Structure 1
Amino acid sequence: MKTAIIAAGCFWGVQEIYLRKFVPPAAILKTTVGYIGGHKPTPSYKEVCTNTTGHAEALKIEYDEKLTSYEKILQFFFAMHDPTQLNRQGGDVGTQYRSAIFTLSDEQNKIAREVMKQVQEKHYPNQPLATVIEPAGQWWNAEDYHQDYLEKNPSGYRCPAHYLRWKIE
């Protein structure tokens, strides 16, 4: 089992699209929503929403490396949100909604930079990407009611910014 940590707007929508659209679905073993990238220990959702903690709403993905790769996880990441938007996705605005890849090793950092370069050249040649790549710091699980929120609340808010913009090969 391997782990990837990404942020791409509202963590409910990010979790939902990975669980519903990632191929092969069996490759995703577990997802957890949480907070990362900030300075406040044990942040709450309410605190993160104030834009004062520095944390991003993020998704931790545990995946089967026999069925998929870190590269494919990141290709999907870039396709499922708009990486050109700074500190926002659609109507969700604030630093907690930034586009970010939190790497867990030098190898992940290298792969993330290469995938980002490929996405820049192929899909956004005339538009800078706002995605940041940084080493993962302390991870904080979001409150229980946020975990699998849209599965538990099918009529809950769905961010229209989360959809596949191109086919993943």
Structure 2
Amino acid sequence: MTTENRLQKAVLAGGCFWCIEAPLRRLRGVSQAISGYMGGTIENPSYRQICSGSTGHAEVVEIQFDSDIISFQQLLEVFFVLHDPTMLNQQGNDKGTQYRSAIFYQDQQQLTLAKEFIAALTAKGEYQAAIVTTLEPAQHFYIADEGHQQFFDNNPYQPYCQIMIAPKLAKLEQLFADKLQ
């Protein structure tokens, strides 16, 4: 199989995109993790419009990954550790549909794998409350402004980064050291 055939795309929403982009981009096999928006009703939404919660878009990270190095299921495993999939339209103090937990599946295989993954977590009783992560077909991806890309790496000492993202990176290193670049 050629490298091009192994490259796949996943789009995940788990609250603020900064909080999942930074950890996901550190995974071995991930060649890109881009912050943006998906799932809404207007074209070319601005960050201000997204923050209003009126467009239907979610803050997402579009991930390009080599499936010979990291599988879609392994991405889901990390994703579900990085956020609380039981919080409806909220992660921490970020509230609104733009912060929903969602998997924007690319094809039937990703949909099936995501359903099976969530069912397995539910069967194991991994969470006290029901998982509310939505499974939505991938739509047009709108890339966020440059200032939102690699936000943690460019602003590591910003208070939000220290309070919200640094602990997720520490958790990633603790639980998934074998998957890091």
Whether TM-score is above 0.5 comes out as: yes
Task: Give the number of equivalent residue pairs.
Answer: 165
Structure 1: runs of 5 or more not aligned = none
Residues 80-130 of structure 1: per-residue CA shift (max 9 Å, x gap) = 110000001011111110000000000110001001111122243652111
Map of 1:100-119 to 2, 5 A cutoff?
100-119=102-121
Aligned position for 1:7: 13
Greater Rg, structure 1 or structure 2?
2
Greater displacement, 11-20 / 151-160 = 151-160
C-alpha displacement of 1:160: 3.0
Say yes or no: does 1:136 pair with 2:161: no
Aligned position for 1:40: 42
Greater displacement, 114-123 / 61-70 = 114-123
Residues 27-85 of structure 1: per-residue CA shift (max 9 Å, x gap) = 11111000001101100100000010000000001111110101111111111110000
Change beyond 3 A, Cα 1:16–1:123: farther
From 128, 149, 164, the equivalent of 2:151 is 149
The sequence identity of aligned pairs, in percent, is: 35
Hey, what's the Cα distance between the residues in 1 that align with 2:13 and 2:25? 15
Query: CA RMSD for the aligned pairs?
Result: 2.0
Aligned position for 1:69: 71
Hey, what's the Cα distance between the residues in 1 that align with 2:15 and 2:111? 21
CA contact (8 A) 1:78 1:119 kept: no
Structure 2: runs of 5 or more not aligned = 1-6
Q: TM-score, normalised by structure 1?
A: 0.90
Aligned position for 2:92: 90
CA contact (8 A) 1:2 1:62 kept: yes
Q: TM-score, normalised by structure 2?
A: 0.84
Larger helix proportion of the pair = 2
- Give the AA of the match of 2:56: G
Question: The residue matched to 2:20 in structure 1 has which SS?
Answer: helix
Structure 1 ranges of 4+ moved more than 6 A: none
Say yes or no: does 1:160 pair with 2:164: yes
CA contact (8 A) 2:86 2:131 kept: yes
C-alpha displacement of 1:153: 1.2
Hey, what's the Cα distance between the residues in 2 that align with 1:125 and 1:152? 33
Aligned position for 2:25: 19
